[in-house]
């Protein structure tokens, strides 16, 4: 459906998007995920046609649209700040794309009604955007983007201006719309939870480059670069040295502790400085001390936070490192408690520094 080849965009000397290749298939939602300034929004704006690209090509539906102006690209766009026409009613807002295409008035009425029903706002057609709540305004924006059934809909951090509860709700709305209408979508966000929940595939970006593309579960479990490993989840980042490589894994020295890890993705040789990435949910915390065995250590509780659905704690391994891990909300521990922690080797990921 969408094919980006070698897409490059420069602002002066800075390269915002660096020769990106991306395919989005007819039925899927691909998310561009990354921190601010990584180039995801710039890429999106190249696809809409708001920005002229410096190199590469963009094909939508098999047609090369690189030189086609925005208003002829037949895409939908949902904005972060809604961007509704403030002087038009909700109904007129949603009707605008149809009016521009000279659709007959009766058909406009029917299709606007249908679109508003789809976003469950059938009763507000005569109100003005300023009279609606944020969530309602965003749904109007959604309705306006899909009313002319574009094959591709783009989302520019659409939920960032909504509060947390509303965001969750809207995720389901977007999912539902996609199921009903079946359009391809490119979604831009810096919120990994949103990306993981909504996407068929995620492209993790940083510094204008895509680090990894894959299904959410896949890139979460098997990150291929340090950036991806660190960006997803809320992992521990521990500096160490590679000591040995084995058939199915490696050993990393951190302080005086040796950690068994899974095989590194990069070709790292023993003696090199590495970063060990361990996700907190992978750290099993057992009550008493007296530990021994591979990746099983004694640790002291140095901090505890109650977060409602779980507890977060920081555990210091003697002569080694500090990890943060999760505990069930009802487990009782005190600062200074000695516990036994265990991390499966497969959950310890090694990357070059």
Partner 1 sequence: MSGLAAASRGAGASASSESPARMERIAHSTRRLLVYTVLLAFSLYIVGPFAAILVNAFGQGWFGGRWLPETWTLKWFRFARTVADLPTLMTNSLTIAGLAIAISLAVGIPTAWAMAKRRVRARALLMALILLPRMVPPITIALGVSREFYGFHLVDTHLGIALAHSILIIPLVVLIMSATFEGLDDRVLEAARVCGARWTHTSWYVIRPLVMPGLLAATLFGFVTSLNEFTLTLLTYGPRTVTLTVETYVQIGQGFTTIASALSAILLVPSLILLVLIQNHIKPENVVGGTKGI
Interface with partner 1 (CB under 8 A) = 48-50, 70-77, 79, 81-87, 96-97, 99-101, 129-130, 134, 137, 144, 148, 161
Query: Least distance to partner 1 from the beta carbon of 276, Å?
Result: 43
CA distance 23 to 41: 17
Which position has the token pair 């090509």? 57
CA distance 174 to 152: 14
Phi, psi of 277, deg, nearest 5:
-115, 120
Nearer to partner 1, 148 or 220 (CB): 148
CA distance 89 to 238: 55
Nearer to partner 1, 139 or 349 (CB): 139
Other CB atoms within 10 Å distance of the CB of residue 342: 15
Which residue from 18, 163, 2, 150 is spatially nearest to 72, judged by alpha carbons?
150
Query: Least distance to partner 1 from the beta carbon of 101, Å?
Result: 6
Phi, psi of 115, deg, nearest 5:
-60, -40
Query: Least distance to partner 1 from the beta carbon of 93, Å?
Result: 9
Query: Least distance to partner 1 from the beta carbon of 197, Å?
Result: 25
Nearer to partner 1, 87 or 106 (CB): 87
Nearer to partner 1, 99 or 287 (CB): 99
Nearer to partner 1, 48 or 257 (CB): 48
According to DSSP, residue 265 is labeled: S
Which residue from 69, 82, 204, 215 is spatially nearest to 142, judged by alpha carbons?
82
> Tokens for 320?
């080694």
User: Per-residue DSSP letters for 99-130?
Assistant: HHTT--HHHHHHHHHHHHHHTT-GGGTTS-GG
Nearer to partner 1, 37 or 134 (CB): 134
CA distance 353 to 343: 21
Nearer to partner 1, 29 or 84 (CB): 84
Query: Least distance to partner 1 from the beta carbon of 86, Å?
Result: 4
Grouping H, G, I as helix, E, B as strand and the rest as coil, residue 150 is coil
Query: Least distance to partner 1 from the beta carbon of 97, Å?
Result: 4
Q: Which helix (H) or strand (E) is 313 found in, with range?
A: strand 311-317
Query: Least distance to partner 1 from the beta carbon of 131, Å?
Result: 12
- Cβ neighbours for 157, distance < 8 A, ≥ 6 positions apart: 41, 80, 188, 189, 190
CA distance 41 to 11: 14
Query: Least distance to partner 1 from the beta carbon of 235, Å?
Result: 35
Nearer to partner 1, 50 or 234 (CB): 50
> Tokens for 58?
């963009």
């Amino acid at each position: 459906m969408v094919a980006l080849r070698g897409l490059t965009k420069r602002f002066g000397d800075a390269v915002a998007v660096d020769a990106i290749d991306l395919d989005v298939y007819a039925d899927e939602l691909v998310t561009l995920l990354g921190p601010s300034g990584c180039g995801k929004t710039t890429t999106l704006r190249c696809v809409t046609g708001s920005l002229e690209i410096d190199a590469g090509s963009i094909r939508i539906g098999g047609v090369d649209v690189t030189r086609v102006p925005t208003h002829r690209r037949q895409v939908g766009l949902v904005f972060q700040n809604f961007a509704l026409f403030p002087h038009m009613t909700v109904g007129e807002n949603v009707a605008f794309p149809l009016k521009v295409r000279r659709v007959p008035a009766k058909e406009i009425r029917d299709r606007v009604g249908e679109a508003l029903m789809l976003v469950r706002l059938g009763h507000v057609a005569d109100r003005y955007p300023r009279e609606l709540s944020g969530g309602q305004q965003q749904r109007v924006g959604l309705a306006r983007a899909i009313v002319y059934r574009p094959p591709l809909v783009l989302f520019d951090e659409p939920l960032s201006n909504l509060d947390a509860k509303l965001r969750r709700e809207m995720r389901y709305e977007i999912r539902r719309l996609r199921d009903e209408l079946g359009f391809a979508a490119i979604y831009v966000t810096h919120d990994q939870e949103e990306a993981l929940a909504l996407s068929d595939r995620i492209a993790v970006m940083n510094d204008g480059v895509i680090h990894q593309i894959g299904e959410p579960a896949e890139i979460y479990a098997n990150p291929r670069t340090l950036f991806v490993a660190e960006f997803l989840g809320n992992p521990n980042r521990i500096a160490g040295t590679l000591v040995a490589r084995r058939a199915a894994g490696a050993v990393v020295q951190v302080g005086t502790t040796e950690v068994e890890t899974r095989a590194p993705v990069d070709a790292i040789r023993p003696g090199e400085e590495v970063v060990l990435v361990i996700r907190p949910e992978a750290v099993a915390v057992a009550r008493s001390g007296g530990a021994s065995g591979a990746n099983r250590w004694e640790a002291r509780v140095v901090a505890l936070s109650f977060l409602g659905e779980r507890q977060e704690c920081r555990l210091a391994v003697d002569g080694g490192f500090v990890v943060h891990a999760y505990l069930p909300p009802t487990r009782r521990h005190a600062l200074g408690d000695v516990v036994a922690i265990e991390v499966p080797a497969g959950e310890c990921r090694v990357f070059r520094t």
